[in-house]
Copies of this chain bind each other. A is one copy, B any other.
């Protein structure tokens, strides 16, 4: 791998396979070079050079994305941040961390823990994904209901613009009203406006061991009512509310050989976690709230984990995704968002349509209800059917205040559908911002918008 700086190599002897694909499996071509800079200055020098030449650049973190955003095309220059992985500073008094963008999420979590703090963002890809990629895609995960998305964890950003300008907006203050906050240009813009090189992160007090429960309900409406109740219940401090369809629990149970923790054969299940102040007292808070929900008929059965092992078993059910992706391959996977009031109708219409059209496939609904996030995994599907499934799902989102991507991003793969949930005026403003910061369009071309 050639890494001469600042001038670009013209021929690339060998590019390692791992830089060519993300977890979506999409591959687009062979880049001319992969650079793995060690400093912000190196990133700046490289971009200045690419900018002068009009050279397209693909930015890479841990390549765990599902939208193809980090997958290079023929002739691209790849900038992978994996060598910029230092935890630079932790202010253990206030709970603030300065980190280079290439540190893995797991390294950030561990460094926070070592300093007596907690970094709440968490994803299955934690060991591989990079914190800069988490910011560029505004990652979500399983703790959003309590701590928000990656956006809510970031106090400051250093980014390199397309022309090599280093934009250091490394404020570490909870409040700062001195001019527009520039963090938000880079968080969630998927590398289209700059390369994030450094982040200031807000850390949280270490939460107590959570109480974990599993419950069954007859409808998604009942689940939203339960969720509303738990958000308001005294003493309950909700840290996860992960819903799953009966078919999801059935499939996960068979593949992972896990018994359903509560009454089997129900249409809906939910894994609930609550982390409260007083261990002895809190179990009571969630238990009291669930007993009330049983009396009200919002749930039909529930179980509290009596041990860490049992809580793990509940979570394994929810986290059987890799086994399912294999068993149902080839699958089509969705990451939709909808208001609570729209969820039931959306799911019912899709269950009906998909079951009717593809009776031999499984259609598994699950997700982070508190974050408005519905995932759907459907498969196996023949190649030609896959676009029809996409068209059907996105058609059901139109006009319902929803999103085609709650947490995975747009990248290449969802770009054709952006107009389902963003207006022409919004897309035009995205274009104006792109022109203002990357007039030549060298950063992550072809992603999100043209």
B94 touches A228 (CB 8 A): yes
**Does the CB pair B182–A181 fall under 8 Å?**
no
> Which chain B residues lie closer than 8 Å to A95 at the CB level?
228
14 contacts between A and B (CB under 8 A): A93-B225, A173-B338, A173-B339, A173-B401, A176-B406, A177-B408, A178-B421, A179-B422, A180-B188, A180-B192, A180-B193, A180-B433, A184-B184, A234-B277
Contacts A278-B234, A429-B182 given: A96-B339 contact, CB under 8 Å?
A: yes
Interface segment among A25-33, A298-306, A350-358, A370-378: the answer is: A370-378
A110 to chain B, nearest CB (A): 19
Q: Closest Cβ of chain B: how far from A201's Cβ, in Å?
A: 14
Q: Is residue A168 within 8 Å, beta carbon to beta carbon, of the partner chain?
A: yes
Given known contacts A94-B340, A168-B425, A174 and B234 CB-to-CB distance under 8 angstroms: no
Task: With CB as the reference atom, state the residue of chain B lying closest to A193.
Answer: B180
The interface residues of chain B lying within 8 Å CB-to-CB of A169 are 423, 426
Q: Which of A167, A168, A341, A426 has the most CB of B within 10 A?
A: A426
Q: Which residues of B contact A187 (CB under 8 A)?
A: 181
Total interface residues on A, using CB and 8 Å?
96
Task: With both chains docked as a complex, state the minimum distance between the C-beta of A61 and any C-beta of chain B, in angstroms.
Answer: 15
Contact partners of A68 in chain B: CB under 8 A: none
Contact between B188 and A91, CB atoms less than 8 A apart:
no
> Closest 6 CB pairs between A and B?
A184-B184, A234-B277, A235-B277, A436-B436, A205-B232, A173-B372
Residues on the B chain within 8 Å of A113, using CB: none
A205 contacts B231, C-beta separation under 8 Å: yes
Residue A122 CB within 8 A of the other chain: no
A172 at the interface (CB under 8 A from B): yes
Contact A177 B188 (CB under 8 A): yes
Q: How far is the CA of A185 from the CA of B437 in the complex (A)?
A: 14
User: Are A176 and B234 in contact, with the CB atoms below 8 A?
Assistant: no
A18 is an interface residue with CB less than 8 A from chain B: no
Once bound together, how far apart are the Cα atoms of A338 and B373, in whole Å? 36
Contact indicator A172/B205 (Cβ below 8 Å): no
CA gap between A213 and B430 in the complex, in Å = 48
Question: Does A405 have its Cβ within 8 Å of any Cβ on chain B?
Answer: yes
| B contact residues around A199 at 8 Å (CB) | none
Q: Which residues of B sit under 8 angstroms from A406, Cβ to Cβ?
A: 173, 175-177
Quick check: is A218 within 8 A (CB to CB) of the other chain?
no
In the complex formed, the residue of B with least CB distance to A234 is B277
Known: A149-B175, A174-B372, A178-B414. A426 touches B91 (CB 8 A): no
Contact present for B181 and A188 (CB under 8 Å): yes
Whether B177 and A401, one on each chain, are in contact in the complex, defined by CB atoms closer than 8 angstroms, is: no
> Is A449 touching B228 in the complex (CB atoms < 8 A)?
no
Binary interface profile of A, 252-295, with partner B (CB < 8 Å = 1, else 0)? 00000000000000000000000011100100010000000000
Q: Give residues of chain A (418-450) contacting chain B, Cβ–Cβ below 8 Å.
A: 418, 421-423, 425-430, 432-433, 435-437, 448-449
Q: Does A297 contact B (CB under 8 A)?
A: no
Least CB distance, A53 to chain B, in whole angstroms = 22
Cα(A425)–Cα(B409), bound, Å: 28
**B residues in contact with A436, CB < 8 Å:** 432-433, 435-436
> Within 8 Å of chain B (Cβ to Cβ): is A24?
no
For the complex, give the distance between the alpha carbons of A57 and B188 in Å: 32
